[in-house]
Structure 1
Amino acid sequence: MRWPIIRWFVALLIALPLGTFILFPTLWRCLTIVHASDFQPVKAGDRTLYISTDATPRQRDLLFSHVQVASARIRQFWGRQQGKATIIYCPTQDQYAQYCSGGEGAGCSLGMPWGDSFLVLGPEGNSPDVMAHELCHDELFARLGWLTIKRQVPQWFNEGLALMVDYRFSSGGSTARERFLIYDAEWKYRAYGPEGLSPQVVPVLSSLETTRDFFYGDYSRVMLAYLTAGREVSRWLATVGPSALPRLISDLAEGQRFMDVYQFAHIRKAGTSQKNVQSANSPSH
């Protein structure tokens, strides 16, 4: 009885990597990047960068500079940087498509159930905005893990949060309220046109819960999904304040439901404001 079980277990060990290679070739290439002869590993602090040998010296210099800028934004927004994603830089579109499924966008993030994570940058990804965006995804992954993000965190929140360190819509000097007003104005322009007379099908948050739903449709619809997410998260942060985010992460890590803690942040804020009002109105001794 023992030998059939052992043979089954050995067969499973062989089938798993083989199945991964066949079904998810881009994922397999990321997992085996350390053995890729066309990439050079470079250490940058606690992080390893794998830079394509096709990259020019100018592209390499910009990459290092942009990683520093993006990491500084992450530390400013999160307080400290916990993510340690392996960064893979592909300066050509063909190479990028080998490591990021479909080869769409400027960059993509991959998180594994066992904790490993990868950040793949394409030809347009050598930018502090793209890097900060993807690194923000990695920060959420580092704090909550694969399972909690998959089961609890809606994609609109994950993307909206990443837009807070991605300044392609708003500048880094914007306050939380200013950032919301910028996203709100851009959202209205995209949704209703310059005259406000041509309404499109505007996605609601409940239709942006999963990755598939978020990135469904043409370019215009996906851009509207991003703006809807950025508008909501910037509104939330402007309302509840920066201290609400670490508390939300802590509550999610303890197993609480996302919408419960997300909405409860408003109650907490209102309660704090009420206490401050009462304290200000109390007679001094």
Structure 2
Amino acid sequence: MASRWKATALAIALAATTAAGLAATYPAAAAIMCPNCLGFRKAFGQVYVEDGMAPQEQAMVLQTIAMARDRLRGFYGTTESDPEIFVCGDDDCYRRIGGGRSRGMALLNLALFLSPRGTSVTIASHEMSHIELHSRIGLIKTFRRDVPQWFDEGVAVIVSDDGRYLRPTSSPDRCLVEPDGALPTTRSVWIESAASAGLYAKAACRVSRWIAGHGGFPAVTRLLANIAAGESFEMAY
């Protein structure tokens, strides 16, 4: 049943991304179906590394992934996602799977891809947060973007405890930038705007204040459960 669901999800993903003109996601999807075909080998469990990666580098990758999973559990309590994780040892590998200039990327709730520059606890846990959120609301609601991109990204910054965009946890207010005005709700607009507008810090600020005002981290799991049950984001928020 699980393999049938994965095949169905990939088929939908490929159809949707093709329709949107995002052909760069195809090699990433192909890696899920045939890791060896894209130059990966299984390292442990759901983790795949680029074929030829040195043993000591592979050991560091597995440690990083374990620490990122701990950070994810520290936020959500328990996790519902179990993505396949692909780690590249060089930039050529990452370009081959369509990674471009990013450090990491998530494909729905199916898989996580990390570049050599993204093999850190911060980047890995950020991308894992996206996958966990998508798993909790389901495939259809993920495609429809029922959770706006700014909230998804803000949660990921908090999960990853990214010091580039947040003050330390000991700070009464973790905001570095005031979230003035509307923030992008769609992924395409977010990607176009994020590099120049300080959006990660703004989204993290808005979400961190919302969490603080709604009883802490469990507020996010309640919101996602309500959305999965049919509420709109506006109602759940």
The residue that corresponds to 1:204 in the other structure is: 181
Q: Which amino acid aligns with 2:135?
A: A
Note the C-alpha offset of 1:58. 2.6
Note the C-alpha offset of 1:258. 0.1
Select between 209-218 and 34-43 the one with higher mean Cα deviation: 34-43
SS at match of 2:226: helix
Note the C-alpha offset of 1:68. 1.1
**Superposed, which structure 2 residues align to 1:101-250 within 5 Å?**
101=99, 103-111=100-108, 117-151=110-144, 152-169=146-163, 174=169, 178=171, 181-182=173-174, 184=175, 186-187=176-177, 204-205=181-182, 207-217=183-193, 219-221=195-197, 224-242=198-216, 243-250=218-225
**Superposed, which structure 2 residues align to 1:17-96 within 5 Å?**
23=23, 24-36=25-37, 38-44=39-45, 48-96=46-94
Same amino acid, percent of matched pairs? 25
Q: Provide the rounded CA distance (Å) in 1 between the counterparts of 2:120 and 2:91.
A: 15
Tell me: higher relative CO, structure 1 or 2? Use CA pairs within 8 A at least 6 residues apart.
2
Q: 1:106 to 1:241 in 2, by over 3 A?
A: same
Note the C-alpha offset of 1:53. 1.6
Q: Match for 1:255 among 222, 230, 235?
A: 230
SS at match of 2:177: helix
Note the C-alpha offset of 1:235. 0.7
The residue that corresponds to 1:199 in the other structure is: none
**Superposed, which structure 2 residues align to 1:262-281 within 5 Å?**
262=237
Q: Provide the rounded CA distance (Å) in 1 between the counterparts of 2:28 and 2:63.
A: 27
SS at match of 1:87: strand
Note the C-alpha offset of 1:247. 1.6
Note the C-alpha offset of 1:34. 3.1
Q: TM-score, normalised by structure 2?
A: 0.81
Q: Structure 2, unaligned stretches of length 5 or more?
A: 1-14
SS at match of 2:30: helix
Figure out how many residues of one structure are paired with residues of the other and give that number.
215
| Max Rg structure | 1
Note the C-alpha offset of 1:218. 7.0
Q: 1:100 to 1:261 in 2, by over 3 A?
A: same
Q: 1:131 to 1:172 in 2, by over 3 A?
A: farther
SS at match of 2:123: helix
Q: 1:32 to 1:167 in 2, by over 3 A?
A: same
Note the C-alpha offset of 1:203. 7.0
